């Protein structure tokens, strides 16, 4: 097998596969004891800047689960930190921004990202691509809306009120902010692609907070621009957000090759909501992994069956692995999907 023939890349391109490929969002992380060990004395953002740690942590779930793709270990706020935004990732909280971005002069702090700003990314991707061989490495970035929310709110937010206030009330400022963030996001993705990542996922985790109309007017143009700029790079583009049942068609319209679906919309319904020519990724509720195995198996069979309505299916959870998940469940689940779908 070659990298380009891997089930993951074939499914992204809607080609027949020898088994349904599997990977898990947040497959590297606190659910793994080996992760907790290497991270014990190293703050999250420091780990994200050390090629040795990035490489080791990215490989941990690949060794343990036999997943069909690795996802680069980093965080959506790494490029923001790299251009000098004063932020940290607080354990159990998430990204926290020292001085939130709220006005025109704040926005000027957002400059473009150059590959030289993140040399550790280039180095770690290079090492990983070599170590992974025919297994794809997925690069990723946060999408402008989700990044804007952290920057404007100053941290995680339930209602995104300051973000929406700026979006609804100051459209010119919003446009300038989203343009700058789109450019930073593109820079981060291009850096990973140039170093050898063979697919990318754009996470717009919190965009499900918007109506379709607001998404179309205030988010779609910037995401479309990012995907458009990547069109010539020939790497599949995956797009995912939580609670995006009403937005699935628009996420595809933005220019994704694969749309990630959370657990709220069955995949056969999701297939009707995206236009032809798009593969789907998903969508087991991560909390299911706390139920008995029989429940996991039944629900997985159902997802695989509904996934046949899509032009291509990559099995994943509907959002990230929860930190207290039993890793043996993920190991069993990976093997189960492979067995059930082997041709």
- Listed in sequence order, the DSSP H helices in the chain are 7-12, 33-39, 44-47, 51-65, 78-82, 104-107, 119-132, 144-153, 161-169, 171-194, 212-218, 220-229, 248-253, 267-273, 293-307, 327-341
Q: Specify whether 306 is catalytic.
A: no
28 is in an annotated binding site: yes
Cis ω for the linkage preceding 103 (within 30 of 0): no
Q: How far is the CB of 23 from ligand CP3 (least distance, A)?
A: 9
Q: How far is the CB of 334 from ligand CP3 (least distance, A)?
A: 14
Whose structure tokens read 């990202």?
113
Q: In whole angstroms, what is the distance from residue 46 CA to residue 78 CA?
A: 10
231 is in an annotated binding site: no
Q: Specify whether 10 is catalytic.
A: no
Q: How far is the CB of 172 from ligand CP3 (least distance, A)?
A: 27
10 is in an annotated binding site: no
Q: Specify whether 332 is catalytic.
A: no
Identity of the residue, 14 or 206, whose beta carbon is nearer to ligand CP3 in the bound complex: 206
CB 160 within 8 A of CB 204: no
Closest-approach residue to ligand CP3 (CB)? 205
Identity of the residue, 75 or 131, whose beta carbon is nearer to ligand CP3 in the bound complex: 75
Hey, how many other C-beta atoms are within 10 angstroms of the C-beta on 212? 14
Q: Specify whether 30 is catalytic.
A: yes
Identity of the residue, 28 or 59, whose beta carbon is nearer to ligand CP3 in the bound complex: 28
Binding-site ranges for ligand CP3 (CB under 6 A): 25-30, 39, 44, 71, 73, 75-76, 89, 91-95, 140, 146, 203, 205, 320
Q: How far is the CB of 149 from ligand CP3 (least distance, A)?
A: 9
27 is in an annotated binding site: yes
Q: Which of 13, 26, 216, 299 is catalytic?
A: 26
29 is in an annotated binding site: yes
Identity of the residue, 51 or 268, whose beta carbon is nearer to ligand CP3 in the bound complex: 51
Binding residues for substrate are 26-30, 75, 150, 205, 319
By annotation, the residues acting in catalysis are: 26, 30, 39, 75, 150
- Which residue ranges are tagged as binding site? 26-30, 75, 150, 205, 319
């Amino acid at each position: 097998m070659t990298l380009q023939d891997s089930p993951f890349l074939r499914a992204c391109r809607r080609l027949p596969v020898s088994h349904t490929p599997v990977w898990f969002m947040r497959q590297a992380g606190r659910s793994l004891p080996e992760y907790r060990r290497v991270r014990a004395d190293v703050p999250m953002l420091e780990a994200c800047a050390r090629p040795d740690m990035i490489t080791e942590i990215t490989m941990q779930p690949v060794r343990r689960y036999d997943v069909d793709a690795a996802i680069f270990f980093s965080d959506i706020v790494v490029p923001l930190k790299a251009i000098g935004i004063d932020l940290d990732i607080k354990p159990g909280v998430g990204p926290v921004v020292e001085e939130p971005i709220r006005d025109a002069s704040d926005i000027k702090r957002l400059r473009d990202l150059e590959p030289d700003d993140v040399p550790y990314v280039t180095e770690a991707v290079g090492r990983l691509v070599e170590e992974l061989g025919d297994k794809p490495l997925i690069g990723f970035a946060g999408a402008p809306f989700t990044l804007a929310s952290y920057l404007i709110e100053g941290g995680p937010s339930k209602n995104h009120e300051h973000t929406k206030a700026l979006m609804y009330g100051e459209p010119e400022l919003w446009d300038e902010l989203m343009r700058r963030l789109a450019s930073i996001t593109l820079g981060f993705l291009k850096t990973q692609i140039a170093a050898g990542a063979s697919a990318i996922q754009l996470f717009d985790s919190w965009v499900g907070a918007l109506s379709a109309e607001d998404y179309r007017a205030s988010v779609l143009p910037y995401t479309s621009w990012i995907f458009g700029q990547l069109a010539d790079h020939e790497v599949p583009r995956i797009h995912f957000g939580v609670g995006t049942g009403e937005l699935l068609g628009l996420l595809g319209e933005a220019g994704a090759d694969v749309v990630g679906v959370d657990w709220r919309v069955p995949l056969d319904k999701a297939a009707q909501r995206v236009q032809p020519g798009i593969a789907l990724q998903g969508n087991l509720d991560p909390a299911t992994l706390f139920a008995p195995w029989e429940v996991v198996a039944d629900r997985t069979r159902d997802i695989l069956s509904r996934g046949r309505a899509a032009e291509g299916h990559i099995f994943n959870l509907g959002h990230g692995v929860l930190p207290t998940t039993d890793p043996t469940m993920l190991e069993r689940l990976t093997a189960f999907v492979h067995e059930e779908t082997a041709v």
